[in-house]
Chains A and B, each alone.
Chain A
C-alpha cells in the first residue's frame, strides 16, 4: 500500500480514495486502477446467455433465440462449412456506451495502459480455461504501425501471459466499415505462419470485441485445419 502517492482512476483521472478498514489493512492490497464510479459503469456478462457466443439473452428479443443458442450462432452452426469451427466464445463485459468509449480510447487513440483495467478479469478467466496457447487476432502491418501496438496482444500481456503470434492478416480493410453479410462472405483474411506446430493443442483466440463472430470464426477455422484440437475464444466485450 502506498500511503503517499495518490492513485488516479485510469479512465476519469479522479483521485481514488483508498478504502480504510481492517480488511484493507490486513489483506494483501489489490491495486485499484479505476474509481468505483467507472467500475459501476462496466456491465459484466452474467446470467442466461447463448451457449456458443455468450450473448446475454436479456438483451435479445426471444424470436432471435433458438433454444440455448442465439439466432446468429444457430445460422453459423447450420452451415456445414462453419459448424464447430469455434467451440465457444467467452466475453467479459457488455459492449455498452461506456465500454465503447473506453475501447475506442484504448485502441484508436492508443491509450495502451487501459489494458491493465481488464488484466485481473482476463487472468481469472484464462486460468479457468487453461489453454495451451493464446493467439491474438492480428492487425495488418499498416494498422499495427499506425496504432503502435496490437490491442489483443496488449490484453494478453497485461494479464501476465505471452501471446503466440501464429497468424497474420492478408487483407487490410477495416472490419467495422462492413455489413454482416460482407464480413461472413469474405475470403479468408488470415494466414497461419508456415512453421507452427499446434497439433493437439488447446488454443484460445483473443480479441477486443465480438461483433458478428466472423473474424474469430475465420481464424478458428484456419487454426483447426492446421491441427488444433480445440478452438475457443475470449473477448473483452460482446
Chain B
C-alpha cells in the first residue's frame, strides 16, 4: 500500500503524488494512544502479540486505520531494505534468490516479495505488518491452575525446578533429556508458575502431530485455562489464550507476544531452517522473556557450549522407568547396497531379522533411502508377507504406523521419518547402512531411543549395520554411554 505522512501519521493514498510504498518511507510514526477512543475488542483479541497482513484480518481497513490513528495499532514494514538488499521482516530471509518481483496493483510499482514464507501469505515491499499497541485484555485466573497431580522422577524434579526458575527470571535454559525421560511433565510446574504470574506462554514444536498430541494433555493438566492450538489450518487461528501450543511455523505470525517460549526438539531442523526458526522465536517472544529449549539430542555446538559452561542446562540422563538406555551395537555388513542390487541382503542382517520374526518380537529397520528400502521389502516378505515399509510421502503412513502399534505388522521398514516422536512399547531396532550421511549423531541417538520404552520391556536391542564406522556413529554411542553413566552416578537408575 501507498501512504503519505500527514500530521505525523500515515494516511493511505493512491492518488497523492508524494505517496510512497510503505517500505520506502524513511520512518513510520506511531500516533500517541488516545485513552478516550473506544476500541474494538475483537480487533484487540485478534491482534495482540501478532503481526498480521491485511488479508488475515476480517475487519474493514477503515476501522484498522482508525485504530492506528488513535494509537491502538502499529504498522510495520513487511520488507526492510539494508542498502538495496531486501530483508523479510517476518521470516528474516535475506537471500536474494528467495526474493522475486512483480508488478503490483496495490502500489503500482515493481514490488519485491519474499518467496520463503509465501505460504503464510505474501509479504511484499508495500505490505503492512499490523500489530496491537493498545491495552492488554485482562485474564481471570481460576482458583487452581494446575490439576495434574502426577509424580516426577528425581531427574525430572531437578529439571522442573530449573525450568520454574528460568521462567521466573526470564532466562534461557536447555533441558537435555534422553528419549523417554518424560519431557512434557517437566514443563507443568513451570507453566503453572508463568500462568500464575499472568504471563503469556507458548510451546512451539516443529511437527503438527506433536501439537495435536500435546493439546489434550495440556488441556487435561490445566482444565480451566484457555489453550490455543495452532497449526496450518487450525480453527484457533484467531483465539487469544494465555497458553498457546503451536508449530514453529506459526510463530511467524507472532510479534513480541510471549513472556515465556518453550521450544521443543530444537535439533530437528536442518541448519538453514534453524536460522529462520531462531528469527521467528526471537520475534515471537517479548524482548525480555524466558526461553526453554527441550531436546534429547543437542547439536555439536550446543553440546560444546554446555561443556564449557556457556549455556545453562539440565540433563535428565535416565528414563522415567529408571532402566538404562539400550546401547547400540555396531556390526559390519559389507557392501549392502551392492547385495541389494542383486536382490540379496547381507547374511548377518538377514539373520538378525529372521531371528526377530521367529521370536515374534516386533522390530523397526531403518534405511537411508527409499529406493533401497523398497528393494529390500520383497526379499523380506518371503519370510512373512505382513512386513511393511513406510516413508514420508507414503499416503498410507498413518495406517501403517497404526498397524505396527496394534502388533499386526511384525516388522516395519522405514526411512528416518520414524526416528522421533513415535513410540512402540516393545521393539528391537536396526539401522541398515548406518554409515550414510543422513544418519547424523542426533538421528542415531533418536533411533536408538525407540527401543526399550515401556517399563514392562525396558530392554531392547539396537544394532547399527554398517559398511565402515563413521564419526557420527561413535559420537552417538558415546553420548548414550555417557548418559547411562551419569544416570548411575546421580542414582537415577535401578540397581
Interface of A with B (CB < 8 Å)? 8, 105, 109-113, 144-150, 154, 157
CB distance from B136 to the nearest CB of A (A): 31
Q: Is the CB of A113 within 8 A of B100?
A: yes
B270 interface residue per 8 A CB criterion: no
CB distance from A146 to the nearest CB of B (A): 7
B124 interface residue per 8 A CB criterion: yes
Q: For the complex, what is the distance from the CA of A40 to the CA of B101, rounded to whole Å? A: 26
CB distance from B123 to the nearest CB of A (A): 10
Q: Is the CB of B102 within 8 A of A154?
A: yes
Q: Is the CB of A148 within 8 A of B118?
A: no
**For chains A and B in complex, what number of residue pairs have CB atoms within 8 angstroms?**
42
Minimum CB distance partner of A7 in chain B? B97
Which interface residue of B97, B105, B113, B121 has the most chain A CB atoms within 10 A? B105
Q: Is the CB of B119 within 8 A of A149?
A: no
Which A residues lie within 8 Å of B106 (CB)? 145, 148
Interface of chain B, helix or strand or loop or mixed? mixed
Contact partner of B115 among A111, A144, A145, CB < 8 A? A111
Minimum CB distance partner of A146 in chain B? B55
Interface of B with A (CB < 8 Å)? 55, 97, 100-106, 111, 113, 115, 118-119, 121-122, 124
Q: Is the CB of B118 within 8 A of A149?
A: no
Interchain residue pairs with CB less than 8 A apart (28): A8-B97, A105-B118, A105-B119, A109-B118, A109-B119, A109-B121, A109-B122, A110-B102, A110-B113, A110-B118, A111-B100, A111-B115, A112-B102, A112-B113, A113-B101, A113-B102, A113-B115, A145-B106, A146-B55, A148-B102, A148-B104, A148-B111, A148-B122, A148-B124, A149-B102, A150-B105, A154-B102, A157-B103
Minimum CB distance partner of B126 in chain A? A148
Minimum CB distance partner of A116 in chain B? B100
CB distance from A9 to the nearest CB of B (A): 11
Q: For the complex, what is the distance from the CA of A41 to the CA of B124, rounded to whole Å? A: 29
Q: Is the CB of B115 within 8 A of A149?
A: no
Q: For the complex, what is the distance from the CA of A64 to the CA of B191, rounded to whole Å? A: 63
Q: For the complex, what is the distance from the CA of A150 to the CA of B124, rounded to whole Å? A: 16
CB distance from B441 to the nearest CB of A (A): 25
Minimum CB distance partner of A147 in chain B? B105
Minimum CB distance partner of B115 in chain A? A111
Which A residues lie within 8 Å of B97 (CB)? 8
Which B residues lie within 8 Å of A145 (CB)? 105-106
Minimum CB distance partner of B121 in chain A? A109
Which A residues lie within 8 Å of B124 (CB)? 148
CB distance from B263 to the nearest CB of A (A): 25
Q: For the complex, what is the distance from the CA of A233 to the CA of B121, rounded to whole Å? A: 31
Which A residues lie within 8 Å of B118 (CB)? 105, 109-111
Which A residues lie within 8 Å of B55 (CB)? 146
Minimum CB distance partner of B124 in chain A? A148
Which interface residue of B55, B102, B118, B121 has the most chain A CB atoms within 10 A? B102
Q: For the complex, what is the distance from the CA of A155 to the CA of B100, rounded to whole Å? A: 15
Q: For the complex, what is the distance from the CA of A157 to the CA of B124, rounded to whole Å? A: 20
Q: For the complex, what is the distance from the CA of A110 to the CA of B111, rounded to whole Å? A: 12
Which B residues lie within 8 Å of A146 (CB)? 55
Which B residues lie within 8 Å of A150 (CB)? 105
CB distance from A151 to the nearest CB of B (A): 11
Minimum CB distance partner of A6 in chain B? B97
Contact partner of B105 among A8, A109, A144, CB < 8 A? A144
Query: Other CB < 8 Å A-B pairs besides A109-B122, A145-B106, A149-B102, 16 of them?
Result: A8-B97, A105-B118, A110-B113, A111-B100, A111-B122, A112-B100, A112-B101, A113-B100, A146-B55, A148-B102, A148-B104, A148-B106, A148-B122, A149-B103, A149-B104, A150-B105
CB distance from B297 to the nearest CB of A (A): 26
Minimum CB distance partner of B120 in chain A? A109
Which interface residue of A109, A111, A113, A148 has the most chain B CB atoms within 10 A? A148
Which B residues lie within 8 Å of A157 (CB)? 103
Q: For the complex, what is the distance from the CA of A146 to the CA of B55, rounded to whole Å? A: 8
Q: For the complex, what is the distance from the CA of A75 to the CA of B100, rounded to whole Å? A: 43
CB distance from A11 to the nearest CB of B (A): 11
CB distance from B97 to the nearest CB of A (A): 5
Q: For the complex, what is the distance from the CA of A227 to the CA of B113, rounded to whole Å? A: 40
CB distance from B166 to the nearest CB of A (A): 37
Minimum CB distance partner of A141 in chain B? B105
Which interface residue of A109, A112, A144, A147 has the most chain B CB atoms within 10 A? A112
Which A residues lie within 8 Å of B104 (CB)? 148-149
Q: Is the CB of A110 within 8 A of B122?
A: yes
Which B residues lie within 8 Å of A105 (CB)? 118-119
Which B residues lie within 8 Å of A112 (CB)? 100-102, 113
Which A residues lie within 8 Å of B113 (CB)? 110, 112
Which B residues lie within 8 Å of A148 (CB)? 102, 104-106, 111, 122, 124
Minimum CB distance partner of B100 in chain A? A113
CB distance from A137 to the nearest CB of B (A): 16
CB distance from A169 to the nearest CB of B (A): 14
Which A residues lie within 8 Å of B103 (CB)? 149, 157
CB distance from A117 to the nearest CB of B (A): 12
CB distance from A7 to the nearest CB of B (A): 9
Minimum CB distance partner of B104 in chain A? A148
CB distance from A14 to the nearest CB of B (A): 12
Which B residues lie within 8 Å of A110 (CB)? 102, 113, 118, 122
Q: For the complex, what is the distance from the CA of A149 to the CA of B113, rounded to whole Å? A: 13
CB distance from B237 to the nearest CB of A (A): 17
Minimum CB distance partner of A110 in chain B? B122
Which A residues lie within 8 Å of B121 (CB)? 109
Minimum CB distance partner of A157 in chain B? B103
